[in-house]
Structure formats: structure tokens, C-alpha cells
């Protein structure tokens, strides 16, 4: 079967694309926010971004094992996506250095509990002979988001301000989290989800 004719998987890929639009603010608008609104120096911006990479390396394997042991795929995706959204939404209310570090910590934890499992879910949905096609289509959803996000994020920030962008990102991520919670079990009925 072609993933392009798999309606359930197409819906899942749409949610993955929306998630990555939210998450990708990290690579575009977040650094602008750090510089222009939080008035961080380039050194402090580099420190926070370096901290995020260090945190992912430090925590990823342990957090993935916890999720695999104690949570279903649907719950893991729900929690991870919600945490990512919350990490952005909190920036609308406080952007002290401590708040920025807490936000980045939450973003990393949310990413760890979402992105690795997207590939797992894609592999579970596919068949023996079409895993590459399914992974490719899921990769396209990430690529589309990666293209859209810088323009969309900076446009919203310019027209409405960063507060609206961060609250909107938090609301969208909450909707996506709920969507994942229902779409994942619907897609993989015979697996432990």
C-alpha cells in the first residue's frame, strides 16, 4: 500500500508537520526573541542553545526508556507535545534568564518524548515492504514545516508580537497533543498504544 493513499497516516503526518512548525521556532524566531525582546547577548544566546544540546545528550536515552516502560505511545506523544507547547507559551509571561532556561529545559524534554516516537509510530504503521515510503512521506512533512516556519513565525511576531506567537504556539501544540492522543491509537489498533 502507498502511504499517499493511507488516509489515517496522512492525518498523522499533518499533525507531525504542525508539531514541527511549533518546535522549529527554536531554529528561527526563538533566537530573534532572545536578542530583541529578552535582550540577551550573543554569548548568552549561545549558552542557552549549547545548554539545550547538552541536555538532550544527557537525558535522551533515560527519558526514552522511561517513556517506553511506563507510557503508551499515545500518552508519550500527548505529554511530549504538550510540554513543548507549554515551554513556548511560558515565554509570553516571563523572559528572565531563569525562565528562558526553564523553558529550554521543558522544550528539550518535550522534544525527547515526541520526535523519536514519531519514527516509531511511522514504522509501526508501515508494512514490511514499504517502510521507506512511509518514512519518506513523514520526512516530507518535516521538510514542509522547516520551510514554512521561519516565514510564518517571523510574520506573526512582526504583525502581532512575540506574546501572540508564543501563546498561539502553546495553543496549537495543545491541539496537536490531543490530536496525537486520538490519532495514534486509531492508526495502530493492534499495537500497545
Question: CATH code at 174?
Answer: 1.20.1250.20
Give residue for cell 545548554: 51
Residue 86's domain comprises 7-33+40-187
Residue 1 lies in a domain: no
Please report, for residues 32, 57, 166, the alpha-carbon distance to residue 112 in angstroms, rounded to integers and kept in the order given.
24, 10, 20
| 63 in any annotated domain | yes
User: Are the beta carbons of 71 and 79 closer than 8 angstroms?
Assistant: yes
How many other C-beta atoms lie within 10 A of the C-beta of residue 4?
Answer: 10
For the chain, the domain total comes to 1
**Helix 115-125 and helix 162-187: axis angle, to 10°?**
30
Distance of alpha carbon 30 from alpha carbon 52, whole angstroms: 13
pTM over 0.75: yes
> Is residue 27 situated within a structural domain?
yes
Classify residue 46: in a domain, yes or no: yes
Block mean pLDDT (10 aa), the chain, length 193: 91 98 95 97 96 97 96 97 98 96 98 95 90 95 96 97 98 98 88 47
Amino acid at each position: 500500500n502507498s502511504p499517499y493513499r493511507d488516509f489515517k497516516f496522512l492525518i498523522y503526518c499533518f499533525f507531525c508537520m504542525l508539531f514541527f512548525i511549533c518546535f522549529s521556532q527554536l531554529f528561527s524566531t526563538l533566537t530573534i526573541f532572545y536578542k530583541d525582546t529578552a535582550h540577551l547577548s550573543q554569548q548568552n544566546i549561545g549558552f542557552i542553545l549549547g545548554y539545550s544540546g547538552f541536555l538532550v545528550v544527557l537525558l535522551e536515552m533515560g527519558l526514552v526508556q522511561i517513556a517506553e516502560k511506563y507510557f503508551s505511545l499515545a500518552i508519550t506523544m500527548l505529554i511530549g507535545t504538550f510540554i513543548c507547547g507549554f515551554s513556548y507559551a511560558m515565554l509570553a509571561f516571563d523572559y528572565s534568564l531563569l525562565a528562558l532556561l526553564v523553558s529550554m529545559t521543558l522544550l528539550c524534554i518535550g522534544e525527547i518524548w515526541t520526535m523519536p516516537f514519531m519514527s516509531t509510530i511511522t514504522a509501526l504503521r508501515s508494512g514490511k515492504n514499504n517502510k521507506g515510503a512511509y518514512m519518506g512521506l513523514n520526512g516530507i512533512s518535516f521538510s514542509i514545516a522547516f520551510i514554512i516556519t521561519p516565514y510564518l513565525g517571523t510574520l506573526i511576531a512582526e504583525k502581532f508580537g512575540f506574546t501572540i506567537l508564543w501563546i498561539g504556539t502553546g495553543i496549537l501544540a495543545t491541539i496537536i497533543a490531543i490530536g496525537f492522543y486520538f490519532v495514534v491509537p486509531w492508526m495502530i489498533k493492534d499495537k500497545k498504544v
